[in-house]
């Protein structure tokens, strides 16, 4: 069996005395839908002899179905049945009205997180509960790796910052960026790979600015120093992004970033992983 354990909401399945199994006598985790399915919308030209790609979108999120039961290395055969209370505790842990971090723990020590919740069904044999069937739902068509954090002090004569985006997805993602300004002035953050420039005017020495890439929000601890007392009035609404491009069949991951104002700047992101356990 490739995978026998998982982590959900910082709790391991094995710590509760359970193991991944399959009551249909198949080994490992049965993946129903791996997500990352792209729908290609095409426009017909030249009497149907050529189709032009109009758009391409993800239309599904990652889903999976697998079973759990008590670990027979921790329970003897007479105690493999789940009591009503034990099943309710599984429901309380896994059947949540929110998406929480989930990761399979497997023999390959791979890392692929999902934001997930579960629908849970009883597996009953001879009128007794012996396991639970979990149907996992997630909030995106792919997984993600562990968080990457980069903090760099930027002086007056900086030559730029190189950040490698390890994502499997061709395109870009929005990191969370924290800036602690060391001088008054306007700040520009430019990524030459993505040809994008983030600009925030009227920054103050000692001001801390947070650009949240996932929620697309900007906040500061010194709104009063900005136009009409709001940093939003001094922001060009171009959030920093980190890209991956293809060149001659090879991914280009290096993002060269320059910052115009002396500061301490931090980038935090989760690389996209297009994989399932």
Give the number of C-alpha atoms closer than 13 A to the C-alpha of residue 117, restricted to the C-beta side.
Answer: 9
| 79 pLDDT above the threshold of 90 | no
Structural tokens at position 275? 């994989």
Per-residue model confidence as pLDDT tens digits over 198-227:
999 999 999 999 999 989 999 999 999 999
Whole-number Cα distances in Å, 62 to 38, 103, 143, 164: 12, 13, 8, 26
Q: Which of 44-53, 132-141, 186-195, 266-275 has the lowest mean pLDDT?
A: 44-53
Mean pLDDT (whole number) for 103-130: 86
| 249 pLDDT above the threshold of 50 | yes
- Tell me, what's the pLDDT at 193? 95
| 62 pLDDT above the threshold of 70 | yes
- Tell me, what's the pLDDT at 30? 40
**CATH topology for the 3-141 domain:** Elongation Factor Tu (Ef-tu); domain 3 (2.40.30)
**CATH topology for the 145-273 domain:** Jelly Rolls (2.60.120)
Structural tokens at position 33? 């839908």
SS3 content of the chain, % helix, strand, coil (to 5): 10, 50, 40
Domain coordinates in residue numbering, the chain = 3-141, 145-273
Is the pTM higher than 0.85? The answer reads no
Domains 3-141 and 145-273 share a fold: no
Structural tokens at position 5? 């354990």
Q: Which of 46-50, 73-77, 104-108, 171-175 has the lowest mean pLDDT?
A: 46-50
């Amino acid at each position: 069996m490739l995978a026998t354990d998982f982590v959900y909401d910082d709790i391991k399945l094995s710590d509760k005395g359970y193991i991944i199994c399959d009551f249909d006598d198949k080994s490992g985790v049965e993946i129903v839908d791996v997500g990352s399915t792209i729908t290609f919308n095409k426009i017909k030209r030249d009497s149907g002899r050529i189709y032009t790609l109009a758009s391409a979108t993800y239309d599904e999120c990652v889903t999976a179905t697998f079973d759990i039961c008590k670990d027979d290395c921790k329970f003897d055969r007479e105690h493999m049945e789940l009591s009503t209370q034990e099943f309710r505790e599984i429901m309380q842990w896994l059947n949540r009205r929110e998406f929480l971090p989930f990761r399979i723990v497997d023999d390959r020590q791979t890392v692929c997180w999902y934001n997930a919740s579960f629908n849970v069904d009883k597996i009953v044999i001879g009128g007794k509960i012996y396991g639970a069937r979990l149907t996992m739902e997630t909030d995106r068509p792919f997984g993600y790796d562990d968080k990457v954090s980069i903090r760099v002090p930027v002086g007056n004569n900086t030559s730029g910052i190189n950040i490698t985006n390890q994502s499997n997805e061709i395109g870009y993602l929005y990191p969370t960026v924290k800036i602690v300004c060391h001088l008054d002035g306007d700040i520009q953050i430019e990524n030459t790979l993505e040809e994008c420039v983030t600009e925030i005017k009227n920054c103050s020495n000692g001001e801390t600015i947070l650009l949240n890439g996932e929620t697309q929000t900007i906040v500061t601890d010194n709104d009063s120093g900005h136009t009409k007392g709001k940093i939003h009035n001094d922001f060009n609404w171009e959030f920093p992004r980190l890209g991956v491009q293809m060149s001659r069949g090879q991914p280009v991951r290096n993002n060269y970033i320059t910052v115009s104002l002396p500061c301490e700047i931090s980038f935090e992101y989760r690389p996209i992983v297009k994989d399932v356990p």
